[in-house]
Amino acid sequence: MAWVDDIKWNDKGLVPAIAQDHTNGTVLMVAWMNRDALRETIETQTAVYWSRSRDKLWRKGEESGHAQRIHEIKIDCDADVILLSVEQLGGIACHTGRNSCFYRVYNDGKWVTVADVLKDPKDIYGEHK
């Protein structure tokens, strides 16, 4: 597939992928994709990432039910970052139970939490998170 070769993969065969809410532009999360994750994302129209900690494909929502339905996929001008415009099913993208992984703001020498937990992670994943 020639289109997958247009991506500038890093030395580990990965590229960062930004998931952004398609309705309001909120950045929900940043993850990594490899070729298989990108192919499956395009084929299924749901977000699939590469989990570096688990060393395997991670189908967003496979444990939580909070999948991401794809609306559009873009690459940046250098072809080394993917931008996914998504519908976040269930409204929770972060494993902390928040809408976005970007819920802390730097303010006066410290990180301040600015977004509430929408659902307790223990209620999403059980005791293991």
Asked if residue 48 belongs to a domain, the reply is: yes
What CATH number corresponds to the domain at position 33?
3.10.20.810
Contacts of 33 (CB under 8 A, 6+ apart): 14, 15, 16, 17, 41, 48, 49, 50, 82
Q: Of 50, 16, 28, 17, give the one whose Cα is nearest residue 98.
A: 28
pLDDT at residue 1, as a whole number: 58
Domain hosting 59: range is 2-91
Asked if residue 127 belongs to a domain, the reply is: no
- Going by the DSSP 8-state scheme, the letter that residue 101 receives in this structure is S
Asked if residue 18 belongs to a domain, the reply is: yes
pLDDT band at 2 (very low <50, low <70, confident <90, very high): confident
Asked if residue 53 belongs to a domain, the reply is: yes
The model's pTM is 0.91
Asked if residue 123 belongs to a domain, the reply is: no
Tokens 């993969």 locate to 9
Asked if residue 64 belongs to a domain, the reply is: yes
Q: What is the pLDDT of residues 12-51, one digit of tens each?
A: 999 999 999 999 999 999 999 999 999 999 999 999 999 9
Number of domains in the chain: 1
Asked if residue 96 belongs to a domain, the reply is: no
Asked if residue 55 belongs to a domain, the reply is: yes
